Amino acid sequence: MFVQFSLVFLAAVLAGFLGALVGIGGGVIIVTALSLFFHLPIHVAIAASLVSVIATSIAGALRFVKQRIADVRLGMYLEMATTMGALAGAFIGVIMKAYVLSLLFGAFLLYTAVNSLLKERKKKVANETQVIEEPDLSSAQNGSRKLLRKGSYFDKSLKESVSYLPVRALPGAIVVSFAGLAAGLLGIGGGVINVAAMNSVMKVPVKVSIATSQFMIAVTAATGAIVYFLAGGVDVYVVAPAALGTLLGSTLGGLVMNKLPTKLIKTMFQFLLLYLGYQMIAKGILMGFGLRLPGIV
């Protein structure tokens, strides 16, 4: 029992650290580690991940708020959509078969990674440092101006202040509602979609998107965790080391995130998702045929 506690703790430290760097809350790595390395039922892994993501988000968010990178107003607006999605996703997740969840988890990770890689080719990194001002040509733009506001943060890697203006308030809320759905269904916190939605749809710089995502996902994860708890999926002997590890790891990740170049963070994000997506799909296929994955493929 002590050995398993220690190993889960160490895996959670790594998950929390990487999660804080790329704004995914560590849930992606926690679910994969618990499912692949420790052979726990994926429903138990998802429940443990959701509880752990709460700790990760709180630790990372406090630091990002102090550094004035997280956009609190934007996060509070989008939180309404993610919470409703998380509630629906958790109810679906507790009744879905394990191999289907594994396949969905892997497919989601691969899609996100490939989509991010394709978009990266069409953009220049310098575009993220420009002030985004779009003309008020539609009611959607006017609505965005009423709900959201212009923001700025100091980028330590660039050693200059970066200004931005979030746009497309309604489309952004619709996209992040799917982040909540994925959070409740897959136990990932929803940070992957949150970052993509804020950065690609709402034109928010990637570091602000990551910081704001960390601010949001605690409430999103808590919503899903309550459903799994009521369904009996929360194992305290797994949740305890996972939560403690992610708390430590996310604190360390929050210390270094703003000191790293944006391009490096995006590259880490993309290749991590490609690898983990492959692993989960491989396990889902084997489970579908009644086989057990002995370790990392």
Question: Does residue 172 lie in a domain region?
Answer: yes
Q: Considering the domain boundaries, does residue 103 fall inside one?
A: yes
**The model's pTM:** 0.71
Q: 178-187 pLDDT, tens per residue?
A: 888 888 888 8
Q: Is residue 294 assigned to a domain?
A: no
Q: Which domain holds residue 276?
A: 2-288
Residue 81 inside a domain? The answer is: yes
Whether 296 is covered by a domain: the verdict is: no
Give residue 258's pLDDT: 67
How much is the pLDDT for 256? 77
Structure-model confidence comparison of residues 296 and 29, the more confident one:
29
- In tens, the pLDDT along 30-46 reads 888 888 778 888 888 88
pLDDT over 50 at 139, yes or no: no
Percent of the chain with pLDDT over 70: 82
Residue 88: pLDDT band with limits 50, 70, 90? very high
Please indicate, yes or no, if residue 62 is contained in any of the structural domains. yes
Per-residue pLDDT at 24: 62
- pLDDT of residue 150 exceeding 80, the answer is no
Amino acid 291: pLDDT: 67
**Greatest C-alpha distance within the chain:** 62
Question: What does the pLDDT look like over 154-176, one tens digit per residue?
Answer: 777 677 788 888 888 888 889 88
CA 207/CA 69 separation, integer angstroms: 7
Say how many domains are in the chain.
1
- For residue 197, the model assigns a pLDDT of 84
- The pLDDT mean for the chain works out to 78
